[in-house]
Structure 1
């Protein structure tokens, strides 16, 4: 028990160091982006140099970068990530609101990727050397290689422009209304019994979810195939067949139970890919989530918003890695350290 606590404390300490280092890098690099947020705030008409300088002093942008960072870090430790330079809205509340849309999209994509990857990978392993296996290997290699923005654009062209099956972007149609309960649009639509809104959100979600899950699903399928092939040659599998169990029963009762340990780890680590891929996917499909919000903030040099979004993204990724690391250590005692 004491060893588990010490491991947990060590992981938490290293995670905190990573977050601090990342916040420093982001804080410095975001100010290297060409453009002046003061000019953006003052608009195209602009103002006098004196007005611009006064606004810069008011925002604290005239101070050295390290002084600005220390002031921001002190406020951030108390949950205050500042205000948007453009909208004057609190950064943290806006980020958490946008995170809800990103979370729903990511969860649907993770579910699709896990189901598709595990089923396809298992079937490819069972049918090793046959046509289905060859097709799966080529398809998964393509899925891993295709850029997210290109895949999303091609899906829009095919299913939205030519076939006119799904919307080109957004999350809701203009005439769809949802009663806010939890803040998660799809969940609120389900809880309120608004089936039309549920259908509308799912129609808008299909293409971005498929785009987001394309690469991870391909990797999960290849990992599942390799893991199943490794386990399927074990002695206990042959022993099960010798006892009269059907091949299907042996695969699902014995092979899958042991083959899923590394696959579960891959799925957990791929959550990072889902979060990172959501930035491009949300931009392509105009999905009102955290990734699109960050891209808009970068284009307008809205420093506080960019810093807040990246810190939240980093915290999520660090937390997921920590959870997967600890969970895998509980599942497989051989890797405990």
Structure 2
């Protein structure tokens, strides 16, 4: 079975290569038709016309667009994503410096969303057939209607201003510093062993995590609830009841392992969406991640940074979609046997 699962994972990952290539072409072409001169943007405002033309020639901007794409692709394969016009340094270095913060935020938000979503789905299912089920579904729909940036603003108002429990910007209290062992602040804070630093790091990430996670958790609630309702209509659940199994044994021993498959697929396919959701949330909380960097890059027309972050979003979505498919294959015997 392990070989079969590994074969599925490899096949899914290989399938994303042509899709990713097409996305790079589309994004590159879209950025090139913008009324922005990358050569002029990469030089100081005092640059002469001759210097701009020389830069254009060096960047290959005088050549056909397919030649420009070929040059960019060959350099990108070696890790050269160009130079950031805003920061006057390697685009790869700028993006990699911000990437750990966003990864940390998204993983924490995903864990929060799964915990809240699974708990909510199980609780609403437990009261099925009663008025509480309807109330739970209405509340879930109401929360689902709120976008993550609105939740972020509400959390700032409630838990940052009216009841100031959590800080509303940055990643650490002023004056605190953490040595960079791994690049991930929460891990590095724990490695310092300083309790004040650890608490500060978790307090600062709490509101962004709740805003992102709570925006996603209602979908998990509804998918799990619907999946459990459908699972309990299957014949093997009736057979389990006839064998004298308790409701708890049926739920956690029989039903949940099958009902959770759509949730696994949902989480995998929506992981890339959480990356995209960081765009406004990071801006609202002044969180120094990719979303914040993307907004600033769009404001300054930093095309190489926009291109790099767009491809990270795309690659993340494709990879986690493939992982979700593989996990669904692993969890559902019917997919393996089919």
Give the TM-score of the pair, scaled to structure 1.
0.89
Aligned-residue offset at 1:59: 3.9
Q: Tell me whether 202-211 or 267-276 shows the greater mean CA deviation.
A: 267-276
Q: Aligned with 1:287: secondary structure?
A: coil
- Does residue 11 (structure 1) correspond to residue 22 (structure 2)? The answer is no
Counting only pairs closer than 5 Å after superposition, residues 74-85 of structure 1 correspond to structure 2 as 74-85=74-85
In structure 2, relative to structure 1, the CA distance for the partners of 1:103 and 1:9 (3 Å cut) is: closer
Q: Give the equivalent residue in structure 2 for 1:267.
A: 267
SS in 1 for 2:260: helix
Decide whether aligned partners of structure 1 residues 333 and 252 sit closer, same or farther in structure 2, where only a CA change above 3 A counts. Answer: closer
Instruction: Check conservation: 1:36, 1:301, Cα contact below 8 A.
Output: no
Q: CA deviation at 1:289?
A: 0.9
Q: 1:41-78 deviations in whole A, cap 9, x for unaligned?
A: 556x6454444434444444444332221111001111
Contact (CA 8 Å) 2:43, 2:85: kept in 1 or not?
A: no
| Residues 1-337 of structure 1 aligned to structure 2 (within 5 Å) | 10-37=11-38, 40-41=41-42, 46-335=46-335
Instruction: Judge which range, 246-255 or 169-178, deviates more.
Output: 246-255
Question: The residue matched to 1:146 in structure 2 has which SS?
Answer: coil
Q: Which moved more, 1:241-250 or 1:179-188?
A: 241-250
Gaps of 5+ in 1: none
In structure 1, how many angstroms separate the alpha carbons of the residues matched to 2:237 and 2:4? Answer: 35
Structure 1 distance, partners of 2:155, 2:5, is: 46
Q: Give the stretch that moved more between structures: 303-312 or 181-190.
A: 303-312
Displacement of 1:267 after TM fit? Answer: 1.8
Deviation at 1:6, TM superposition (A): 6.7
Name the count of aligned residue pairs: 336
Say if 2:56 and 2:62, in contact at 8 Å, map to a contact too: yes
Q: Runs in 1 of length 4+ with deviation above 4 angstroms? A: 1-10, 34-43, 45-48, 238-245
**Distance change in 2, residues 1:335/1:236 (3 Å):** closer
Deviations along 1:229-276, one digit per CA (max 9) or x if unpaired, are 122344444454455544334323332233222222222222122112
Q: Contact 2:267 / 2:324 at 8 angstroms: preserved in 1?
A: no
| Distance change (3 Å), C-alpha of 1:35 and 1:174 | farther
Q: 1:10 to 1:268 in 2, by over 3 A?
A: closer
User: Is contact 2:100–2:183 with CA below 8 Å preserved after alignment?
Assistant: yes
134-143 or 33-42, larger mean C-alpha shift = 33-42
2:149 touches 2:281 (CA, 8 Å); kept in 1?
Answer: yes
Give the Å deviation of 1:101.
0.7
Distance 1:233 1:3, change over 3 A: closer
Return the alpha-carbon distance in structure 1 between the equivalents of residues 177 and 8 of structure 2: 48
SS at match of 2:132: helix
Give CA deviations for 1:200-231 in whole Å, capped at 9, x if unaligned: 11111111111111232110000111111122
Deviation at 1:277, TM superposition (A): 0.9
Q: 1:213 to 1:335 in 2, by over 3 A?
A: same
Preserved CA contact (<8 Å) 1:113 1:214: yes
The two structures have a TM-score, normalised by structure 2, of 0.89
Q: Which runs of 5+ in 2 are unaligned?
A: none
Query: Contact 2:104–2:184 (CA<8 Å) still a contact in 1?
Result: yes
